[in-house]
Amino acid sequence: MKTKFKMLSACVLTALAGGAQADAIIGPDLQEMLPNLLESKKVIITTHDRSDLDSVMLQVNAPYLSMQALPMAGASLNKLQIMNLANDDRVKSIYYNKPLEYFNYTSAEVTGGHYVHDVEGVTGQGVTVAILDSGVDGTHQDLPMGSKVIENVKILSDLDLLGGSNYFIEGVPNTDTSSGHGTHVAGTVAGSGAASAMDARRANYHDGIAPNANLVGLGAGEGIAMLQTIGGFDYVIANRERLGIDIVNNSWGTSAGAFDPNNPVNQASYEAYKKGIVVAFAAGNDGPGDDTVNPYAIAPWVINVGAGNPDKELVDFSSRGVEGDTFKHVDIIAPGSGIISTRAANTPLPALSPVIEPDYPDYYLHYAGMSGTSMATPFIAGVAALLLEVNPDLSPDQVESIIRDSADEMPGYKFHEVGDGYVNVKAAVELARNTEGNRRDFLNGQTAWSSQGYWRDVDQSDSNIDYTSRWKLVNSSDSFGGSYLQTKKRGSKAMFDFMGEGMQLVYQANEQGGRGELFVDGRSYGIVDFYSQSPETRTFAVRDLSAQDIHSVELRHVQGKINLDALKVDGQLIDNGMSVVTEEFYVEGTIGPSAENVQTQDFRFYADDSVAFIESDLSWEGVADLDYELIDPNGESVASSATLGNPEVIGYSPNEAGYYTLRVNGYASVLTNYRINTTLSKLVQN
């Protein structure tokens, strides 16, 4: 092997260094398929910007389905097309259109108990719940099309036959013709109970928990896959105002896995959450073992629902999380054992557990018993509808907190198994009545969760925040770090730069508070009011910025006393008093031939404390399968690229100085020449 190592001249930039972006994220399932992929696969492509989606997809010369609101499209692509998309810097990720499953556990012994609380006359009036499932039978007496089911949509999914942006058929009376799962779920949320109106035990005996709520059916059919669920979320987001959609129920998912914020399903559920929609997900039916929870249910912005029985015990099939894990835990337990609800005609699932009551023989035609977290989740969606009826100003964060804070404890179970306990509908409704809603602030960006899960907290003392004029340190037990900086000098500013899509300014308001004005990239985002009759911590949020750009933020003094306590950043802060110097080097080498064993070649270099970013690409001549990774001083792989594209590109922000290693891995059937180009971006004082 021969290698050449050369250092190129450095140059000074006024902003963060540009250059080739890292390759698009390839989902783990697709990564496994690519090396031996011979036929086309259905995939989901996500772009950084919605405006780029159609121009990106037109280049692949294949039929595609683009979303209306989300920057996503589905297409059936071959290996070469996938590789080309992965090298397009407008593409954020490519994931396999993975088949999913409805979470339904059929019990041999159906209890026949319909678990519905009559709650002080609260019925979900004025609230709309979307059911993203196999479909809804709007011909059922309890779910009449028009008055109950205000829209019923069939989601089409054949990427090989369809193209364009519209693959929804609206106004379909019955979208649940092959499963029955979605109809049962819909009845649990808001079935009217009309088919059991004359029951001697109670009128409308088999009604749902929110019988006067409206429903929107989104029928993905029996063979649900990721693309249909993305389409369902896209429809919900695009039509939320027209149809008044407040909640979306998801009684489906896949086997256990890690929380991946870049997964298209999680990105879609986050967009719905940001728009003020309550998102409920089934935990799954893979219990009683730990680490079995649905990976879409562990996104922190959704309500993760496990199943219990009428005795407020956890049922064996309900999936569990992992003790001590940040994300892998159930949030709440709801009734999910032997639930009686609406039966879709001529479908297989309800026929497995028919309702047989001698006094009411026709119930066999209208109702069925089913068990599972699929049945528990719509119960929680219905409870959310009750809460929004009594307090429409609640945010999705508040709805979840109320349901969890009012729950009954479940002694003998751990948090990762049952979350905060068994839902208590009466207590939840009472707490909602007495909670001041903050939906307006939520919609302005004051969300509990960022797009990556937790916000990155930054104290006012962070060296990346610059202050002009005189700021005084004020000790306070109410502040983020025990103190905050305050000023009353005219012309004072607090300034910082960050890269990301949103941030929240945290400050203390009191009787001495004045006013400030917040600017982002030179544009005013409004007045920040620091006055309050009683001391309180407040936030001022900015959201929906470009996640790929650096944004300059200024808090300017306007009147009286203003302060800065902390920041919450969906991204990272960058020192605004620094310039970026780039240092470049390249390595040339030869690898192969090898037909059986992977070859590895390493190249070490030193990165000092000033290096803010390492960007490197590996390119080669001829046909070869080369992968690329960066190893940190501790021997850990911290960045890698294995897309089958040429070049392979990696990027990394180091958190320590030391010797790093560029590692070339791969097979080469013939002698293959390659070249590594590396740029070190260093922060230096102006």
Confidence at 66, pLDDT banded by 50, 70, 90: confident
Cβ contact 163:170 at 8 Å: no
Tell whether the model's pLDDT for residue 450 goes beyond 70: yes
Residue predicted with more confidence, 109 or 596: 596
Sole residue written with tokens 């046909």? 623
Amino acid at 628: Y
- pLDDT, residue 105, reads 29
* 181 included as an active-site residue: yes
Amino acid at 43: V
In this predicted model, what pLDDT tens digit does every residue of 92-142 receive, in sequence order?
889 888 765 444 322 222 222 233 335 477 899 999 999 999 999 999 999
Euclidean distance between CA atoms 364 and 100, whole angstroms: 30
Mean pLDDT of 155-164: 54
Q: Which sequence spans correspond to the domains of the chain?
A: 4-17+578-685, 37-96, 101-443, 464-574
Helix, strand, or coil (residue 362): coil
Confidence at 19, pLDDT banded by 50, 70, 90: very low
Confidence at 254, pLDDT banded by 50, 70, 90: confident
Beta bridge partners of 581: 12, 682
In this predicted model, what pLDDT tens digit does every residue of 221-253 receive, in sequence order?
766 777 788 889 999 999 999 999 999 999 998
Q: Which is catalytic among the residues 23, 88, 133, 331?
A: 133
- pLDDT, residue 466, reads 93
Euclidean distance between CA atoms 380 and 402, whole angstroms: 12
Tell whether the model's pLDDT for residue 22 goes beyond 70: no
| Strands 332-335 vs 303-308: parallel, antiparallel or unpaired | parallel
DSSP state string for 369-410: EEBSHHHHHHHHHHHHHHHHHH-TT--HHHHHHHHHHTPBP-
Euclidean distance between CA atoms 1 and 670, whole angstroms: 13
Cβ contact 290:265 at 8 Å: no
CA angle 456, 95, 502 (to 5 degrees): 25
- pLDDT, residue 349, reads 64
Mean pLDDT of 451-466: 93
Euclidean distance between CA atoms 2 and 591, whole angstroms: 9
Helix, strand, or coil (residue 591): strand
Tell whether the model's pLDDT for residue 7 goes beyond 50: no
In this predicted model, what pLDDT tens digit does every residue of 174-204 receive, in sequence order?
999 888 899 999 999 999 999 999 999 888 8
Structure tokens, 477:
């037990």
Beta bridge partners of 513: 561
Tell whether the model's pLDDT for residue 310 goes beyond 90: no
* 319 included as an active-site residue: no
- pLDDT, residue 594, reads 65
- pLDDT, residue 510, reads 95
* 114 included as an active-site residue: no
In this predicted model, what pLDDT tens digit does every residue of 384-395 receive, in sequence order?
999 999 999 999
- pLDDT, residue 667, reads 64
For 4-17+578-685, CATH gives 2.60.120.380
In this predicted model, what pLDDT tens digit does every residue of 264-303 receive, in sequence order?
889 899 999 999 999 999 999 888 999 999 999 999 999 9
Determine which of 483-487, 595-599, 605-609, 643-647 has the lowest per-residue pLDDT on average.
595-599
- pLDDT, residue 158, reads 52
For 464-574, CATH gives 2.60.120.260
Question: Is the alpha carbon torsion for 201, 203, 204, 208 positive or negative?
Answer: negative
In this predicted model, what pLDDT tens digit does every residue of 294-303 receive, in sequence order?
999 999 999 9
Tell whether the model's pLDDT for residue 575 goes beyond 70: yes
Amino acid at 8: L
**Mean pLDDT computed over every residue of the chain:** 85
| Strands 149-155 vs 214-219: parallel, antiparallel or unpaired | parallel
Mean pLDDT of 477-503: 93
Mean pLDDT of 356-364: 87
Which uninterrupted H or E stretch holds 47?
strand 41-47
- pLDDT, residue 548, reads 66
Euclidean distance between CA atoms 595 and 554, whole angstroms: 58
- pLDDT, residue 550, reads 82
In this predicted model, what pLDDT tens digit does every residue of 496-535 receive, in sequence order?
999 888 999 999 999 999 999 999 999 999 999 999 999 9
DSSP assignment letter at 147: T
For 101-443, CATH gives 3.40.50.200
- pLDDT, residue 452, reads 85
Confidence at 166, pLDDT banded by 50, 70, 90: very low
Euclidean distance between CA atoms 190 and 656, whole angstroms: 55
In this predicted model, what pLDDT tens digit does every residue of 365-382 receive, in sequence order?
999 888 889 999 999 999
Tell whether the model's pLDDT for residue 574 goes beyond 90: no
In this predicted model, what pLDDT tens digit does every residue of 555-568 receive, in sequence order?
999 999 999 999 99
Tell whether the model's pLDDT for residue 351 goes beyond 70: no
Sole residue written with tokens 């079935």? 191
The CATH architecture that domain 37-96 belongs to is 2-Layer Sandwich (3.30)
Query: E strands, 521-565, where?
Result: 523-529, 536-542, 550-559, 562-564
**Chain centroid to CA 397: how far?**
14
Amino acid at 593: P
Q: Which is catalytic among the residues 48, 181, 329, 557?
A: 181
Q: Which is catalytic among the residues 196, 269, 374, 451?
A: 374
Helix, strand, or coil (residue 1): coil
Question: Is the alpha carbon torsion for 347, 385, 410, 319 positive or negative?
Answer: positive
- Give the residue among 105, 499, 489 at the shortest CA–CA distance from 306: 105
Whole-model pTM: value is: 0.74
Burial class (CB in 10 A: 0-12, 13-18, 19+), 268: buried
In this predicted model, what pLDDT tens digit does every residue of 413-428 receive, in sequence order?
999 999 999 999 989 9
Residue predicted with more confidence, 620 or 23: 620
Determine which of 317-331, 374-388, 575-589 has the lowest per-residue pLDDT on average.
575-589
- Give the residue among 294, 213, 204, 221 at the shortest CA–CA distance from 248: 213
Euclidean distance between CA atoms 268 and 221, whole angstroms: 20
- Give the residue among 658, 659, 662, 660 at the shortest CA–CA distance from 674: 662
The answer to whether 4-17+578-685 and 464-574 have equal CATH topology is yes
**Neighbour count for residue 533 (Cβ, 10 Å):** 8
